[in-house]
Amino acid sequence: MARTDTAPAFKAHDKELVPRMLVRAMFGLVATVLVLVTIARVTDQPVISVPPKGEISASRDINLSGDMAGSARVTALDGTVIADLTPQEGGFISGVYRVLVRERTKHRVALEGPVTLIRYETGRISIHDPSTGWSADLMGFGADNARAFARLLAE
């Protein structure tokens, strides 16, 4: 009984999967970016991509707490409840609280403590933690998420 081999034979590819010129162009682009960044850092070029802050038009010190499910609780420094949010309402605020806890753990400071919400004349809103120096421009997370913190300033 004769056995026949039905498996296809492997063929050597005579074409390149990625053209050699494209690979060279990619490495050229990476090298160009590294040279430009190195020149900017060595010559102390100013950072020009920072959003304008303007003058502070409103600020408020608050205490944040949250959980992994997304619910959040925001209180004033005297303990008055500003907002008690369900997981559907407080997901972003709870997420900011978790980042705040991570930063405070990293800096080895107390996990509890106030943060400052700041609204600038330009309309931008940011949050600042005085115990670690951490801050975030909330406009970078989208209008809906910034509006969640804007409501806390208004209340």
pLDDT tens digits, one per residue of 51-103: 777 888 888 899 888 888 888 888 888 888 888 888 888 788 888 889 999 99
pTM greater than 0.75: no
* Cα→Cα distances 6→9, 10, 36, 59, 129, Å: 9, 12, 57, 76, 69
CB 125 within 8 A of CB 119: yes
Q: Hey, is 113 helix, strand or coil? A: coil
List the structure tokens of 28. Answer: 């050229």
The residue among 66, 60, 59 whose CA lies nearest residue 112 is 66
Q: Where are the domains of the chain?
A: 56-154
pLDDT tens digits, one per residue of 101-136: 999 999 998 888 899 999 988 888 899 999 999 988
Instruction: State the virtual CA torsion across 18, 19, 20, 23 in degrees, nearest 10.
Output: -60
